[in-house]
Each structure stands twice: as structure tokens, then as C-alpha cells.
């Protein structure tokens, strides 16, 4: 099991499009992937779960991946966060 925390940097936070990008990426991995914010834990493969976190710009999200490809999964998510999920800002 691997855990890493991230700060959401894009302007509007994990809204519909970035959340969709994240879920689509998470779905490619076999590992179970969870996101946690302020004690709420959701599956990264559920867009409703991700949206319900209400993760706005500047919030810290803890990502836990558990499974055969956990390392790859975390790396991919790190890249998405760093590239603002493809948002221009």
C-alpha cells in the first residue's frame, strides 16, 4: 500500500472535467485507489465520490493506492495534479 498527499492547484478545483480526467485515469489501474480529504474517504474510480469531496484550489488530498500497480497509479495521479488536469490555470 502506498500513500501520498497532493495539493490541488488548478483554479476551480476538482470540478466536473478534472474529476472526469482523474476517474478515467484511475479506472486504468487494477489497484484500489482512495482519496481522502478532511476525514472523508472516497474511491478515485467514482466520479460522484470525487465530486462530493468538494476539493477546491489549495486543498490537500491524500491518495492511497493498494494493489499490483499501486506505484504506477500514484505516479500517474501526481502527473495529473502537476499538470492541473489539463486546465490552463
The residue with cell 489549495 is 58
Candidates 31-39, 45-53, 61-69; binding stretch for other proteins (CB under 8 A): 45-53
3-class DSSP string for 72-83? HHHHHHHHHHHC
Candidates 19-27, 29-37, 60-68; binding stretch for other proteins (CB under 8 A): 19-27
- Known active-site residue 10: no
What sign results for the dihedral spanned by CA atoms 46, 83, 77, 12? negative
Q: Give the x/- contact pattern for other proteins in 64-83, rule: CB under 8 A.
A: -----------x---x--xx
Q: Which is nearer to other proteins, 1 or 79 (CB)?
A: 79
The residue with cell 500497480 is 69
Q: Which residues are catalytic?
A: 15
Amino acid at each position: 500500500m502506498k500513500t501520498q498527499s497532493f495539493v490541488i492547484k488548478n483554479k476551480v478545483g476538482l470540478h466536473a472535467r478534472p474529476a472526469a480526467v482523474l476517474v478515467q485515469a484511475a479506472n486504468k489501474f487494477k489497484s484500489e485507489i482512495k482519496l481522502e480529504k478532511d476525514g472523508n474517504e472516497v474511491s478515485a474510480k467514482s466520479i460522484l465520490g470525487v465530486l462530493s469531496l468538494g476539493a477546491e484550489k489549495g486543498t490537500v488530498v491524500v491518495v492511497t493506492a493498494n494493489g499490483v500497480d499501486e506505484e504506477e497509479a500514484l505516479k500517474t495521479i501526481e502527473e495529473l495534479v502537476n499538470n492541473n488536469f489539463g486546465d490552463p490555470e
